[in-house]
Structures are given as C-alpha cells and as structure tokens.
Structure 1
Amino acid sequence: MTASDSGQVRARVEFAMFPDLPPRLFPPPVVERLRRVAEIDLGDPLTEFRSLGAQARLREADVLLTGWGSPRLDSAALVHAAGLKAVVHAAGTVKGHLGPEVFARGVPVSSAADANAVPVAEYTLAMILLAGKGVPGLAREYRAARADLRLPRRDLTIGNYRRTVGLLGASKIGRRVLALLRPFDFRVLLCDPYVDAATAGDLGATLVGLPELFATADVVSLHAPATEETRGLVSAGLLASMADGATLINTARGSLVDEDALIKELRTGRISAVLDVTEPEIPAAGSPLWELPNVVLTPHVAGALGNELHRLGESAADEVLRVLTGRSLRHPVDPAVLAITA
C-alpha cells in the first residue's frame, strides 16, 4: 500500500517484466482502469529482486503483475513481499518465474494462458486447413512452374473433406483447437492420458492411444506440455508410422519431438511438418529444417503478437481488478496440476 498526495492509502501494483513490454501489453484505456484502483508505474518495471530498491518496492506491492522477462520470485524475494495479495501473470506458463514457495505461502496466482491460447489455436486451425489443401507444396510448385496447376490435378489426397485430424493433448490450446474444428467435415481423434472417452466425446473427438493417433491421422497437431515425461514423446517409431502425405504440426515445444528422427522422415519426402517451435528454439544454421521443401518453419509466432498482446493485458488487468475489489480470480493457477500442464 502507498499513500497518495491526499493522504489516502491506495493499493500498489508492481510490474515485473521486460522494460519495453508494459506499453505493448496495456493500451491506454486499460492503463486508466488500473489507475482508478491502484498506484502503478509502467515506465519502470522490475527486472530483478535482489537490489535494495527492488526489495523496497516488493514490500509496498499488493499485486505483482508479471510478464515475459520477469525475475524469479523465490523464497529470497518473497520474504520482502509480506503484503502480497496475488501474482498476476500477463502471459502463459508461470513455471519459469514462480518458485513453489509462492504457492506454499498461499499467494493466489493467475495466468493469461487462456488468452494466449486463442492465437495459438487460430494458427493451428489455419495450418491444418492449409496442410489439408496441400497449399505449402502447391505454392512452391506454382512458383517454380509459373503455369496453371489447377486443371491437370486429379490428386484425391488433397482436400479437407472427411480428413482425419489428430490432437495430442487436451490442454487449454488443444481444447480451443477442438472447438474451432467443430464446423468442419473432419474426423477428429484425441490422445490424452488425463481424459476419458466421454470427455473426449464432449470435446468433439474420439479418444485413441498414441500409436493409433499417429498411424491414422492425416494431420497430427501437438498440444502437450513440455515435461521430462513428454521429452522425445514423438519418437522415431511414431513418425515412421505416419501415413504417406501426413503432416505434423508443432506449436507446443520442440522438446516433444525426436528432431533427428523427424528430419530423417522429412528427408524421404513421405511426410511434411509445420514447426513453430524447435529445440533449440532457433535451429542451428546448418539444420536441414531450413532447407527441406516439405517444412513450414515459423519463428514461434503462434502465440500472442502485435495487437494480440492487448488480449493478454486486458485479461491480466481484469484479474488485478478482481483481486483489489475482493473477488476471486477468474483464471487461477492450480499448483496441484502445474507439473502436468504447460
């Protein structure tokens, strides 16, 4: 809490993120909403918690509003934040910047993962439709041929009518993708060890095992979290089982895929891939992924970019307002399931 010029005690919201991020997350109308209920300073977000100045600001904070680039809130920093009512994260996962001590102390935590799921699901839907239509390959052929490719084509493997789409993971993003797929004439499969057949049916999908998902789907889209259990989950055997002409889409994390095995399959030309994430995040300069004609490689753009950041900021601001007006969080992070979520 801080005292205003009038002597009235007001709540204090401290920002912890990259210095250039606040104005990109919070448009002026959202900033004004926050200023009506709290003291804020968008121009000087915290980038460390070790200095005396940063620790003094933590002592005054009622809410810590974090984003990409936030320092880690561990026990050493938390000792200076005795009055902290909540941590509100204006992005997806909180694993990288919150220690278990935050949850052990009972500090409520919110995430904008639901808001960030929207553009990722939209990107995924777009890539599923384009892959089914054969657009990436046709675009390359058209540029090379500079001729009419429409009339001679009699390839019945191209098109989205009754195509089989398989999703690995019923995460927040996976569920949004499932909802977006409903209007289309797809057969949708889902593999998730934490979902039963009835729930899968409610989501518009048929629950299957991992081998069936890869062997059956024309497009496999990955939406599982990056954990030690999922590292290399998409193995050489699963990739080899994919049908000729199938496409793998990865908007989750590169660690889910055995990249060497993927490159081996891609080199045969049997399958294609749409990769928004890799491991390492930027492939090595000599990686075949840069040159293979059956790979669409994008620089981790599926998540919120440009004006989509406003959706994250608005979601986080709503949560701050809920905390400061005595209401419960709309998007709380459950520490009990944090280990198996993104």
Structure 2
Amino acid sequence: MTADVWLPIPPEEIDGLPEGPRYRFWNGEEEFPADPADCAFYVVPYMKPSDLCVRPLPYMTSVQVLQTLSAGIDHVQPGLGRLRPGVRLCNARGVHEASTAELTLTLVLASLRGIPDFVRAQDRGEWLGGFRPALADKSVLIVGYGSIGAAIEDRLAPFELARVARVARSRRTTARGPVHPLTELPSLLPEADVVVLSTPLTEATRGLVNADFLARMKDGALLVNVARGPVVDTKALLAELETGRLTAALDVTDPEPLPPAHPLWRAPGVLISPHAGGPTSAFLPRAERLLADQLHRFVNREPLRNVILTTGSSAGA
C-alpha cells in the first residue's frame, strides 16, 4: 500500500504502525502536509473546531476511512456530504470511557458535597461547616447508555445508590438491568436526584433538555452534562438555575467555549469545567493503541472497529 495516512500525532511517536502507507502529520495547520487527493485514511485532529476538521474533505477524493479521536462525530458530520460514497466513519470508542466517567463522578460528588463552596471559603480563610447532600441513597438517571454511560455506572456502583435508571435510543436489557427508550424519559425524570447526560449529539438529542424536560426534574435535582453543549437548552437551564430549584455541573456548554460575560458563569448552583472529560493522561496511550490497531486492520483489509456509518448508504443518509 502506497496511499497516504494523515495523522494528528507525529507517526514516530506511535508504536506499532504497520509498514506500507506514507504517514503524513497534520494537526490542523494552514498548509496541508501533502495532496489531500492521495489520502486514503484521515485521522481527524482532536479537540479542533469543526470547520478546521472538515476543511480537507472536499479534496480527499480517494479517502476510504475517516477516524475521529473523539467519541462524538458531530464535528465531522457537516463535511460528510462532500465525500464520495463508501467512506467509513469510525469513532474512538474505547479511548474516552475511563476519563469521561472519572470526570462525571468528580462533578457529581463535587456538586453534591459543595466542593466549590469549600474552595471559595478556603480563599477567604473561612471554616464552612454544615450538612451537605450525599450520593449514597440517591437515584441516578443516565441519559445516553452507550459505552461511556456504562462506564459511568461502573464507577457509581460502589456508592450505595438507591437506584440507577438507564435511557438510550431504544429499549434493551443489560447485565446491570433494563435500558429504557427515550420515549419513557417523562416518567423517569421526576424520580431522579441526579440526571447524567452522556448521549451523542444528534438531531434527536439536540435541545433534548428543554424547558419541559427540566420542569419534570424533581426539586433540588442535579443535572450533569458530559455529552455535548447543544443537548441542553441553555436559556431554559438558566431560568431554572436562577430560581434555585435545580443545580447543574457542566463539562460542555452552548456556546462553547463559554464567553467571559455569559450569565451561565454567574448562575447560582452551577459548576463548570472546560470540556475536560477526554483530554487527560489516559488519552494518548489509548488513542495510539486504537490507531495502530485500526491501521493494521486497514492495511490487511480486515474489518475496522467502531464503524459508525458508511457514506452513501442508508445508514449514513
């Protein structure tokens, strides 16, 4: 194989890459590393704007595979219509589960136990005592029960919860219990003390957490978003936060990055982290193992992992 492979990680830093392809390093720079028409396997730059990620796509007339290094694919979807039929789009399932689940648990515990208040009190030299909510005996609802949602539940398991409810696109059964379809959300929301969003951003989930969704949440409930910002209607969430009826912990926002003057920064009862679920020390070794494995499969014409859709097919339409 003499086709080009574009990588956002220098190829010399990735152990185990197969011989054969010409490896080109490109992480979103203005100049392309080679003619995009020669690229057969494009690994999309990680944590870069959507317009940058899709910029080479109109010129990639020979591309066969798009590989993201994120679990979500929403940032490349705007460019898929510019590709020829038959291009496989793969995500990074297996790379982000541990880090994202870790952060989810951190956000839940920090919010319930009042860690932001303690940090501010420490800055003032103030001993801030009093009772705080515990995670023990709470009911948690996980909206978006893919591999990340399952990893979140794995880490919640030791915390003596009263109940975990799971929601995904369609009904199914897992070893931990039933997964409810999205249509059953209205009946599940009033029972949850903590609602965790870990769903991909699709047309079905954009604006899913609207005024009606939030109104169905019980008084004092915590909303945790580790999915994508546009899953939540920011204006509707702000209205609930301002009343003090709900609290929120957000790793993603809409807009993102959140502008300095945005009212969400100053809303009561909200903890915001800067889309920090994926970029940790766990990312690079897992990403490099995925790429080496995928490229061996590609070179040897074996089935690829994590194929989300194929352009031009009914699944990719």
Aligning the two structures, in what range does the TM-score lie when normalised by the shorter sequence?
0.7 to 0.9
Who is 2:261 aligned against?
286
Who is 1:6 aligned against?
none
Matches of 1:274 and 1:165 in 2, distance apart? 14
Mapping of 1:1-342 within 5 angstroms?
1=1, 11-15=2-6, 21-23=8-10, 28=13, 30=14, 32-34=15-17, 36-42=19-25, 54-55=34-35, 58-59=37-38, 61-68=39-46, 69-72=52-55, 74=57, 76-79=58-61, 81=62, 84-97=63-76, 98-100=79-81, 102=83, 105-140=85-120, 146-147=126-127, 149=129, 153=130, 155=131, 158-186=133-161, 187-196=163-172, 199=173, 201-204=174-177, 207=180, 209-306=184-281, 308-335=283-310
Contact (CA 8 Å) 1:67, 1:91: kept in 2 or not?
no
Counterpart residue type for residue 264 of structure 2: L
SS of the counterpart of 2:158?
coil
- Give the 3 Å change call, closer, same or farther, for CA 148–181 of structure 1 in structure 2: closer
Contact (CA 8 Å) 2:40, 2:65: kept in 1 or not?
yes
TM-score by length of 2: 0.80
Counterpart residue type for residue 63 of structure 1: F
Counterpart residue type for residue 128 of structure 1: V
Unaligned stretches of 5+ in structure 1? 2-10
Identity of aligned residues (%): 29
Deviations 1:5-61 (A, max 9, x none): xxxxxx444216xxxx424xx673x2x52264433233x567689x8x844x533x4
- Give the 3 Å change call, closer, same or farther, for CA 176–161 of structure 1 in structure 2: same
Contact (CA 8 Å) 1:178, 1:205: kept in 2 or not?
no
Which structure has the bigger radius of gyration? 1
SS of the counterpart of 1:261?
helix
Matches of 2:123 and 2:27 in 1, distance apart? 48
Contact (CA 8 Å) 2:94, 2:286: kept in 1 or not?
no
Deviations 1:133-157 (A, max 9, x none): 34334544565572262xxx4x4x6
Counterpart residue type for residue 91 of structure 1: S
- Give the 3 Å change call, closer, same or farther, for CA 41–258 of structure 1 in structure 2: closer
Matches of 1:176 and 1:273 in 2, distance apart? 21
Matches of 1:310 and 1:300 in 2, distance apart? 20
Deviations 1:67-110 (A, max 9, x none): 23433565x4343x1xx4533333333444351465x6323332
Q: CA deviation at 1:332?
A: 1.9
- The CA RMSD over aligned residues, in Å, is 3.2
Matches of 1:46 and 1:128 in 2, distance apart? 34
Contact (CA 8 Å) 2:89, 2:308: kept in 1 or not?
yes
Deviations 1:188-211 (A, max 9, x none): 012334123xx1x53446638222
Contact (CA 8 Å) 2:100, 2:278: kept in 1 or not?
yes
* Equivalences, count: 304
Matches of 1:308 and 1:213 in 2, distance apart? 34
Matches of 1:112 and 1:215 in 2, distance apart? 33
Deviation larger for 117-126 or 134-143: 134-143
